[in-house]
Structure 1
Amino acid sequence: MREAELWQRLTAQLGSGYAHVWAEQVVLADLGGRTVTEALAAGVPCKTIWRAIWSQLELPARER
């Protein structure tokens, strides 16, 4: 997964106005206590980040 797809999926779930705010403010345990933005900056694979988002937002299996 590329970063553009990650942002597209997150925006589809949270809306364009909230996705980036959420990514900067919500700390995810599955990312080692980092936000999505911090995880991206640290080089965490986008697929790993998406799985953490998927889990946090309790999305349906089809969104995985």
Structure 2
Amino acid sequence: MKISDFWDRMDETFGAGYARSVAADHTLGQLGGRTIDQALADGENAKAVWMAVCRAWPERVPARLVR
């Protein structure tokens, strides 16, 4: 997954403004207690980070984006 695709999915899921806040402020156990921003900065694969988002917010992520 390209990083641009990742951010498109984040924007669609959370809204363009809130997506950046979610990425900066929320730590995820699936990412070793890091934020989304930290995980991406550490070189984590964007697809793996996206799947962690899907597991953390299953009620928010549109079903068609869970892949």
Bucket of the pairwise TM-score, normalised by the shorter protein = over 0.9
**Percent sequence identity over aligned pairs:** 38
Runs of 4+ in 1 over 4 A off after TM superposition: none
Q: TM-score, normalised by structure 2?
A: 0.89
Question: Which residue in 2 is equivalent to 1:7?
Answer: 7
For 1:57, give the aligned amino acid.
W
* Structure 1 residue ranges without an equivalent (≥5): none
* Corresponding position: 1:54 with 2:49: no
For 1:4, give the aligned amino acid.
S
Question: Which residue in 1 is equivalent to 2:20?
Answer: 20
Q: Select the structure with the greater relative contact order (CA < 8 A; seq sep ≥ 6).
A: 2
Name whichever structure is richer in strand by fraction. 2
Question: In 1, Cα distance between the equivalents of 2:62 and 2:16?
Answer: 20
Aligned-pair Cα RMSD in Å: 1.1
Q: CA deviation at 1:17?
A: 1.1
* Of 51-60 and 39-48, the range deviating more from structure 2: 51-60
For this pair of structures, how many residues does the alignment match?
Answer: 64
Q: TM-score, normalised by structure 1?
A: 0.93
Q: CA deviation at 1:61?
A: 4.3
